[in-house]
Amino acid sequence: MDKQTITIYDVAREANVSMATVSRVVNGNPNVKPATRQRVLKVIEELDYRPNAVARGLASKKTTTVGVIIPDVTNIYFSSLARGIDDVATMYKYNIILANSDESGQKEVQVLNNLLAKQVDGLIYMGHTLSDEVRAKFSRSKTPVVLAGTIDPDAQVGSVNIDYREASKFVVDKLIKDGNQKIAFISGSLSYPINSQYRLQGYKDALKANQLPYDESLVFETDYSYKAGEALWSQLTAAGATAAYVIDDELAVGVMNGMLDHGIKVPDEFQLITSNNTILTDIVRPKMTSISQPLYDIGAVAMRLLTKMMNKEEIEEKTILLPYDMVERGSTKG
Partner DNA sequence: AAGTTTCATAAAAACGCTTGCATTTTTGGT
Partner DNA sequence: ACCAAAAATGCAAGCGTTTTTATGAAACTT
Q: Which residues of the chain form contacts with its own copies (CB under 8 A)?
A: 1-2, 4, 50-55, 57-58, 63, 65, 68, 72-74, 76, 79-80, 82-83, 86-87, 90, 95-100, 113-119, 139-142, 226, 250, 253, 257, 260, 279-280, 282-285
x-or-dash string of contact with DNA, 50-89, rule CB under 7 A: xxx--xx-xxxx----------------------------
Q: Which of 1, 2, 5, 93 binds DNA (CB under 7 A)?
A: 5
By a kind-dependent CB cut-off of 5 to 8 A, residue 150 interacts, out of DNA, its own copies, none, with none
By a kind-dependent CB cut-off of 5 to 8 A, residue 257 interacts, out of DNA, its own copies, none, with its own copies
Three-state secondary-structure class, residue 28? coil
SS3 annotation, 192-211: CHHHHHHHHHHHHHHHHHCC
Looking at beta carbons only, is 38 or 52 nearer to its own copies?
A: 52
* Helices H / strands E in the chain, number of each: 15, 12
Contact 210, 271 (CB under 8 A): no
Q: Which of 19, 97, 116, 264 binds DNA (CB under 7 A)?
A: 19
CB of 15 to its own copies, least distance (A): 20
Burial class from Cβ neighbours inside 10 Å (0-12, 13-18, 19+) for residue 225 reads: middle
Please state the φ and ψ torsions of residue 245, each to the nearest 5 degrees: -110, 120
Gap between the terminal Cα atoms of the chain? 68
DSSP assignment letter at 331? T
Looking at beta carbons only, is 12 or 186 nearer to DNA?
A: 12
Looking at beta carbons only, is 126 or 176 nearer to its own copies?
A: 126
> Could you tell me how many residues of this chain bind DNA (CB under 7 A)?
32
Looking at beta carbons only, is 51 or 105 nearer to its own copies?
A: 51
Contact 145, 123 (CB under 8 A): yes
